[in-house]
Copies of this chain bind each other. A is one copy, B any other.
């Protein structure tokens, strides 16, 4: 088992091939300070090459997923000196850091589940958009609240557009309207809406058992093909996908998967939640 970074703001818990990552700043409703983002980035960088971790589960401590950016911290920006001519504005550089993290998180080969409760505002809503499967409680509150503060959701809205399309993204960002879990399900921001926290945990376990039946290498290859669709032409994506298919088929997973199917037995990679 490879090393995971030591974290002050996050709680990391490993169970078999699953890594549970909990943002643990409940006093500030898990607001995204520079420190939280730095620790999340370090975890993502450590996990990405680690084939023993198949699934990453992201949640927030204290019943709130993430209330967004650190607004008190924003105030410090005003005293930052303006950039020298020809230099990048340090406020822009700092803001861009979050986009870098989002790109890396979105590209993780592991399957990522978001478990959303309480509130997901601003950057918290952005985090939801880079999970593969998102589960929330019906009373979770969501909003793209930035423009009400006089700033654009700069590093967030591109991922919202990818997640739910530009039509709904425009409405949410230009009105800042608040909405709850059921509507989040209707617009495709989340996939499952649970009545309460007991159902939330039960849904998480069901999803984990589904993922546990999928071969980890095949899942990573599939996620890679989906990500490639964003920037490469279709023919080229299909070319690369056919080589990934051949590698999986000739590898241990392909042989085991077909043999298990024909033998009507579980494949050797199946992992159940205990």
The count of identical subunits is 3
Cβ of A242: which chain B residues have Cβ within 8 Å of it?
92-93, 95-96, 99, 154-155
Instruction: Tell me the residues in window 191-217 of chain A with beta carbons closer than 8 Å to chain B beta carbons.
Output: 191, 207, 210-211, 213-215, 217
Cβ of A249: which chain B residues have Cβ within 8 Å of it?
74, 77-78, 91, 150-151
B233 touching A148 by the CB < 8 A rule? Answer: no
B154 touching A225 by the CB < 8 A rule? Answer: yes
B164 touching A253 by the CB < 8 A rule? Answer: no
Cβ of A253: which chain B residues have Cβ within 8 Å of it?
150-151
Q: Is A262 interfacial (CB-CB < 8 Å)?
A: yes
Q: Is A180 interfacial (CB-CB < 8 Å)?
A: no
Q: Is A166 interfacial (CB-CB < 8 Å)?
A: yes
A241 touching B133 by the CB < 8 A rule? Answer: no
Contact with B along A219-263 (1 / 0, CB 8 A): 101110110011101110111011111101111111111100110
Partner of A214, one of B82, B176, B210, B250: B176
Q: Is A117 interfacial (CB-CB < 8 Å)?
A: no
* Cα–Cα distance between A241 and B93 once the two chains are bound (Å): 11
Nearest chain-B residue to A229 (Cβ)? B161
Q: Is A14 interfacial (CB-CB < 8 Å)?
A: no
- Interface band, chain A: 35 or more
A262 touching B72 by the CB < 8 A rule? Answer: yes
Nearest chain-B residue to A150 (Cβ)? B257
B210 touching A91 by the CB < 8 A rule? Answer: no
Q: Is A26 interfacial (CB-CB < 8 Å)?
A: no
Q: Is A17 interfacial (CB-CB < 8 Å)?
A: no
B158 touching A229 by the CB < 8 A rule? Answer: yes
Q: Is A175 interfacial (CB-CB < 8 Å)?
A: yes
Partner of A166, one of B74, B155, B169, B229: B229
Q: Hey, which bits of chain A sit against chain B, CB under 8 A? A: 71-72, 74-75, 77-78, 82, 89, 91-93, 95-96, 99, 103, 111, 132-133, 146-155, 157-158, 161-171, 173-177, 188, 191, 207, 210-211, 213-215, 217-219, 221-223, 225-226, 229-231, 233-235, 237-239, 241-246, 248-258, 261-262, 267, 269
